[in-house]
Structure 1
């Protein structure tokens, strides 16, 4: 597990304007206020090219300003903290882990996120942030048009639907890198250096010095930002969830270090946060583990801080295991993640649906999802969520049978009217509505059917011959 640490510095230097025409944030805002218009950034336009450079946009994405998304938008609600950061559809957990660490360092955060901006009377649709790059501080301006689907932000967002500092910070960082897609690859230490102007260090915990805990404690006390991740042997393992609740190749922020008295001895603990905001370590010293029963209640409450499923947890450095995901673990993980999506109606996936998912993705027939299989599934899952949000036109959190028809077509599943009627009868409720768990069950089983048929249709004739045993195997697997 590599550990990254970045000591901050170089805070007092004047930032350099980066806009193509050389004008500063203040000049641009003043001009917009005088003209009575909202800023539109010509250097990072609200177009597909600002989202992706190597692929087409998969769904109908609309660029909307916060005032179009909610009634009372705020730049920061209360105070900015690590729980304001929820990962969207982009695979930039490395950046989110660094932002979560940034919120713990108020001086550094005040530099990166200047306080002279809000949605009040001086609002002009323009915001700015500062990053350390190429041995200097850069002042980066952006307009506040954010990518959304059905009035929901699809990239980094806050748990509060009227708070926008984190979404705008991600946009500014994407501008520096050329596009949102460019943020798919990176390291937490790289972002920490960009936020502090500091110099990073990395430790491999398998070969770490014996006093690593002491080194980390001193670093935190001196204002360093720290993160960690689990090594992967190939890109196929990236973001594969282990049975212990950890995610391989996924960036975590380190938010605290503690020593607790446990059965007459001291145990060293590291508090770590998953930028997803959920999916936590479930092994020893996790939020509800039995080890806490032997710790003084006051000490326990101080350390856990009334923990909930917020992606933050404690662990001993020696406790971190990895395995393939069984069907019950998959069910638990998906139900935990999806039940927290406010924009969808969700009652929970059945074990049967999770079996169908494993049947669809289990290429090596182990009955579990290995790392590569889980990665492919998770990419499919993100696409299916995007389709659901895109075609839920009335934002009810459910789909009508007509909306389901459009979503299936967009997913490449072309069914005739009779089949579509059968699907609607099978998965819709009494009001002909389909909630997300039924939608997912439907789309997984249909993809399974298409996959099995296409594997049997060797000559691409649109028909196959099968015996009774093949038919039973086909029926059982979907």
Structure 2
């Protein structure tokens, strides 16, 4: 959903400052909703009361907004209870956290539970997400906390332990042990992170896997899987990667339905082991097996190597013990790797680093993370199918500086993984948000343009094809792909498939060797503006008309106020029938006077004839540029062209070229000055340029040592912003 300029950009500045201070790391996670676990827990212990979380209360609002909302019959009999009200001797973890502690309840979040089951296989990862030393005995205060990776930062989420129940049974995730609650509380913390339990309905296992690890995920379609898939899976598990799989359901009506073999379509499974065994009747050949788990905690595969199948009789007790074989309806089962490939359609592997899928050598991958957003009318250009707007998407310059150590076929290449993730769409479901269809394209930058940080223009993309691109545009939270390209300079264009779709994203680039990745136009730069000289020579007829009108309105003191300036300009501008404008507003004219006041904040608030002539020369120059971009002569310009129009207009006032804004400022300009149809009329165009130049002049007046930074008191800041 759209953000206000102040909200989005203030949040961004805060995040950047937090990163500089170490906030967001594993050792210093961001406090979600500003809640500090240790402080809140100590307060509860001191007052001898149990924590109640006002930011995620035990009410319908925390359950959901539609199927679990106020109007739903499902929520009428739900009672929130603490574990001590549900059973005797509740425990946070009983006998160690294991995959059997996760049984799905009445919520379609199998994707999340499959990821939790994978998490239990790696104790180090598990206890990053589920901090230890939490219990229902020592210093119990009804408060718990969990940690998740959230769009580049680790966040610590605090919850109370009130859980939804029906007839004294947990409604959602539960453990096979009735008195064990870590998995139910983890689900609650994840629901809080996304706004409600209902927000967790439906998803992709990789989403939760990445939120548990900060890793990067790669997909394999079984029909296109590499020959060495078994080796890849075994190696990935050995290196701590999380792994899930599913069977596509092409018919929505058959979503999550059981097949005759006991497998469920449209349902997420965890891959919990990959092993080999040697049946006694076979001399040399080993059987490759895969162990999977259904988050339901029941409903299992009934084919070869299932719990009670005849195949188990062909191997020794030692082999059975090694494979931890047991006949129990717990949702976990073995099957042969061949049957696995035949029955499942997709596998996803979340790696802490991308080297888990490569050769046996362990590489140290570098990663760069860039935050960005698509803004309707400015930087939401859509895919390459929309050439008029595609070029306006955010652009990221990638420099591949060193080739791989062990290239194949003696090629000089750089291996890297691009991961484009859209942000906050799940949390905004209650406002109607769905996942966008997203993807990206990679273009090689010509050598003559290396080091040039300018935004690539429309013509570049019209006459150059992409060097690589994401396999497809798809409505997943993240699109990831591995590439091998020659060392050099490239530009990555992330986009939604359709233009005008507004949202935030992060772009991560993992590479085996050193690379740099940064957003183009990430700095605001400008040479010092120098007022354009007044035109020499005889006055034109228009100048004479202005002098006459000016004298008529100004009176004997030959100065005009903002209201008088409005009358002067609008008497002339109405003669230009080719401009779409209702005339200059009083606010616009006040800004113009602020711009022309030589001493800025200590000016008179009026214009004399010389200042007025100077202002009119500016307006005439800007009017010519406006008409150049008004190609269809509609009297307004498209907001996507505003970027170039602003640059052209301001460069007219520079003593030399070098003016450059950043993408965030273009976003602000569009949101501030474009109308609901994403068009900008002449008055808005002039108002934008007046404000932009005035603020630059003010900044430079304060920046006396020319180092590009200024320090203002609150009073100076208010004087500056209120007057301009």
Secondary structure of the residue aligned to 1:200 is strand
1:200 alignment partner, one of 198, 217, 242: 217
Counterpart-to-counterpart distance in 2, 1:38 and 1:296: 53
Matching of residue 310 in structure 1 with residue 310 in structure 2: no
C-alpha distance after superposition, 1:178-224 (max 9, x if no partner): 11111111111110100011111111111100000001111111111
User: Which stretches in structure 1 are left out of the alignment for 5+ residues?
Assistant: 1-9, 323-478
The alpha-carbon deviation at position 119 of structure 1 amounts to 1.2
The alpha-carbon deviation at position 295 of structure 1 amounts to 2.2
Secondary structure of the residue aligned to 1:236 is helix
Report the counterpart of residue 41 of structure 1 in structure 2: 53
Contact 2:80 2:165 survives alignment (8 Å) = yes
Report the counterpart of residue 168 of structure 2 in structure 1: 151
Counterpart-to-counterpart distance in 2, 1:140 and 1:182: 16
Matching of residue 215 in structure 1 with residue 232 in structure 2: yes
Secondary structure of the residue aligned to 1:53 is coil
Contact 2:134 2:144 survives alignment (8 Å) = yes
Report the counterpart of residue 538 of structure 2 in structure 1: none
- Relative distance call for 1:212 and 1:180 in structure 2 (3 A) is same
Contact 1:16 1:136 survives alignment (8 Å) = yes
TM-score by length of 1: 0.63
1:356-395 to structure 2, matched below 5 A, reads: none
Question: Rg larger in 1 or in 2?
Answer: 2
Secondary structure of the residue aligned to 2:172 is coil
Matching of residue 133 in structure 1 with residue 150 in structure 2: yes
Matching of residue 61 in structure 1 with residue 78 in structure 2: yes
Matching of residue 190 in structure 1 with residue 200 in structure 2: no
1:295 alignment partner, one of 312, 315, 324: 315
The alpha-carbon deviation at position 94 of structure 1 amounts to 0.7
Secondary structure of the residue aligned to 1:157 is coil
TM-score by length of 2: 0.42
The alpha-carbon deviation at position 318 of structure 1 amounts to 2.7
Matching of residue 52 in structure 1 with residue 64 in structure 2: yes
- Relative distance call for 1:234 and 1:14 in structure 2 (3 A) is farther
1:279 alignment partner, one of 299, 302, 306: 299
Secondary structure of the residue aligned to 1:168 is helix
Report the counterpart of residue 124 of structure 1 in structure 2: 141
Report the counterpart of residue 117 of structure 2 in structure 1: 100
The alpha-carbon deviation at position 296 of structure 1 amounts to 2.8
1:350-361 to structure 2, matched below 5 A, reads: none
Report the counterpart of residue 18 of structure 1 in structure 2: 32
Contact 1:11 1:108 survives alignment (8 Å) = no
Report the counterpart of residue 367 of structure 2 in structure 1: none
C-alpha distance after superposition, 1:153-174 (max 9, x if no partner): 1110111111110100000001
Contact 2:61 2:196 survives alignment (8 Å) = yes
- Relative distance call for 1:107 and 1:304 in structure 2 (3 A) is closer
Counterpart-to-counterpart distance in 2, 1:87 and 1:168: 13
Counterpart-to-counterpart distance in 2, 1:235 and 1:144: 36
Contact 1:11 1:111 survives alignment (8 Å) = no
Report the counterpart of residue 244 of structure 2 in structure 1: 227
Secondary structure of the residue aligned to 1:283 is coil
Report the counterpart of residue 41 of structure 2 in structure 1: 29
Which structure is richer in relative contact order (CA contacts within 8 A, separation 6 or more)?
A: 1
Counterpart-to-counterpart distance in 2, 1:221 and 1:53: 41
Contact 2:142 2:161 survives alignment (8 Å) = yes
C-alpha distance after superposition, 1:409-462 (max 9, x if no partner): xxxxxxxxxxxxxxxxxxxxxxxxxxxxxxxxxxxxxxxxxxxxxxxxxxxxxx
Report the counterpart of residue 712 of structure 2 in structure 1: none
Counterpart-to-counterpart distance in 1, 2:327 and 2:215: 31
Counterpart-to-counterpart distance in 2, 1:36 and 1:298: 53
1:180 alignment partner, one of 189, 194, 197: 197
1:249 alignment partner, one of 266, 270, 274: 266
Q: Which has the higher strand share?
A: 2
The alpha-carbon deviation at position 96 of structure 1 amounts to 0.7
The alpha-carbon deviation at position 11 of structure 1 amounts to 7.5
Counterpart-to-counterpart distance in 2, 1:290 and 1:206: 29
Contact 2:25 2:153 survives alignment (8 Å) = no
The alpha-carbon deviation at position 299 of structure 1 amounts to 0.8
Secondary structure of the residue aligned to 2:328 is coil
Pairs aligned (count): 311
C-alpha distance after superposition, 1:15-68 (max 9, x if no partner): 11012xx23000111111112221111111111111121132414100000111
Q: Which has the higher helix share?
A: 1
Counterpart-to-counterpart distance in 2, 1:196 and 1:88: 24
Contact 2:307 2:325 survives alignment (8 Å) = no
C-alpha distance after superposition, 1:351-381 (max 9, x if no partner): xxxxxxxxxxxxxxxxxxxxxxxxxxxxxxx
Matching of residue 237 in structure 1 with residue 249 in structure 2: no
Counterpart-to-counterpart distance in 2, 1:272 and 1:103: 14
The alpha-carbon deviation at position 177 of structure 1 amounts to 1.0
The alpha-carbon deviation at position 246 of structure 1 amounts to 0.3
Comparing 277-286 with 260-269, which one deviates more in the overlay? 260-269
1:316-331 to structure 2, matched below 5 A, reads: 316-319=336-339
1:71-82 to structure 2, matched below 5 A, reads: 71-82=88-99
Counterpart-to-counterpart distance in 2, 1:173 and 1:149: 21
Counterpart-to-counterpart distance in 1, 2:158 and 2:47: 18
1:336-355 to structure 2, matched below 5 A, reads: none
User: Which stretches in structure 2 are left out of the alignment for 5+ residues?
Assistant: 1-23, 344-724
Contact 2:35 2:158 survives alignment (8 Å) = no
Root mean square deviation, CA, Å: 1.6
The alpha-carbon deviation at position 77 of structure 1 amounts to 1.1
Contact 1:48 1:57 survives alignment (8 Å) = no
The alpha-carbon deviation at position 304 of structure 1 amounts to 4.0
Report the counterpart of residue 389 of structure 1 in structure 2: none
